[in-house]
Amino acid sequence: MTSEQILAEIREANLSYLMLAQSLIRSDRDQALFRLGISEETAMLIGTLTPAQMMKIATGNTLLCRLRMDDDLVWNLLTSHGKGAANDSVSRLHASILMAGRHQEAA
Supply the CATH number for residue 51's domain: 1.10.4000.10
Name 31's Cβ contacts closer than 8 Å, sequence gap at least 6: 24
CA distance 56 to 4: 18
Q: List Cα–Cα distances, 97 to 9, 56, 100, 101, in angstroms.
A: 31, 35, 5, 6
Which pLDDT value is given to residue 66?
78
Which pLDDT value is given to residue 42?
95
Residues 18 and 35 in one domain: yes
Residues 51 and 84 in one domain: no
- Region 82-101: mean pLDDT is 63
Confidence of residue 81 (pLDDT cuts 50, 70, 90): low
Confidence of residue 11 (pLDDT cuts 50, 70, 90): very high
Closest CA relative to residue 11, chosen from 49, 48, 65: 65
Count how many domains the chain has.
2
Which pLDDT value is given to residue 29?
95
Residues 103 and 77 in one domain: yes
pTM flag (> 0.85): no
Residues 60 and 30 in one domain: yes
Residues 25 and 52 in one domain: yes
> For the segment 35-77, what is each residue's pLDDT rounded down to a tens digit?
898 899 999 999 999 999 999 999 999 999 877 666 676 667 7
